[in-house]
Amino acid sequence: MDDDASLSDDRLPPDEPAAPAIDAALVRRLIAQQFPRWAQLPVEAVRFDGHDNRTFHLGDSMTVRLPSAAGYAAQVEKEQQWLPVLAPLLPLPVPVPVAQGRPADGYPFNWSVMRWLDGDTAATGRIDDLTGFATDLARFLVSLQRADPTDGPRAGPHSAFRGASLKTYDAETRRAVDVLRDRIPAEKATEVWEAALDAEWHGPPVWFHGDVAVGNLLVQDGRLSGVLDFGCSGVGDPACDMTIAWTMLHGASRQAFRDVLAVDEGTWARGRGWTLWKALITLAEPGSVHAEWARRSLESVLDEFGHERGTP
């Protein structure tokens, strides 16, 4: 990741062991054993890696992605099955599976070889026109939502409950507010959260990405060029895909994003709720490397909410 924190749930369930050390040497052994035609290709760790998966360059045109723990292993089968279905329907490139690896050499999970997508992560300094970027991203999400959801994976543990009810994280959010009570406007944060909970989703299930964050968006020549990491994707409530509106966008770019998506007030409120949850639990984590991101995101959410309600 670059400047932004991913929405992916980077905490394992209690007592769940992490996978053995995942490094380039392991990847080379797995490739040599299972895909010997690629055994001579160089393997190098990517510069900005995520937490749910460890990712490595394989030659010039492929990546290898390995789940970091059992809680993320179900994402492999999902991406293998659905990315080839979704990719032709989307206006921007997404990683398409090339092969699926099996557990071996002490590594206990299935894993993926994907097509490499060129581009840099979407730091604001690399984007020529933030409003144009927001519009392109919204069009991508519109296309994703229009994909046929029949038989798609319903939101649940495989998506870290993205696309499901915010009530999943109600207790955790309220605990974070209590922990941070002396550092944040706790009453206002609670008001935002309760407004999100009240805006229950009753719409038809649609496809969602689940982790629309800077680290999963690519730019080339100043424009959005690709979308990565569908590990948290599924079929359900698309509100979780609104979070980029507060973590990266602002002013005209945020409004353009909302307009193109034609987001109703309830979905927007739930999107704010997803952003608030992640910001709060990140701030409540001692020594989090994403604390500055969380502070900015929380401020963005609270400022917009206050503006809408006419309160400071």
- Could you tell me if 118 and 63 are in contact, meaning their C-beta atoms sit under 8 angstroms apart? no
* Residue 246, C-beta contacts closer than 8 angstroms, at least 6 positions apart: 254, 271, 272, 275, 297, 300, 301, 304
pTM beyond 0.75: the answer is yes
Domain count, the chain: 2
Quick one: DSSP state of residue 7?
S
The distance between the two most distant Cα atoms of the chain, rounded to a whole number of Å, is: 64
Domain end among 89, 117, 145: 117
Q: Are residues 283 and 197 in the same domain?
A: yes
CATH number at residue 289: 3.90.1200.10
Domain end among 84, 117, 150: 117
Q: Are residues 129 and 101 in the same domain?
A: no
Q: Are residues 65 and 164 in the same domain?
A: no
- Could you tell me if 67 and 111 are in contact, meaning their C-beta atoms sit under 8 angstroms apart? yes
Residue 209 lies in a domain: yes
Domain end among 100, 117, 134: 117
According to the model, what pLDDT value does residue 33 have? 97
Q: How far is it, in rounded angstroms, from Cα 153 to Cα 169?
A: 20
Task: Identify the residue whose tokens are 């329907």.
Answer: 89
pLDDT digits (tens, 9 = 90+) for 156-191: 999 999 999 999 999 999 999 999 999 999 999 999
Amino acid at 121: T
Residue 3 lies in a domain: no
User: In which domain, by residue range, is 57 found?
Assistant: 24-117
pLDDT digits (tens, 9 = 90+) for 229-282: 999 999 999 999 999 999 999 999 999 999 999 999 999 999 999 999 999 999
- pLDDT beneath 50: ranges in the chain: 1-5, 10-15
Q: Are residues 128 and 86 in the same domain?
A: no
According to the model, what pLDDT value does residue 10 have? 47
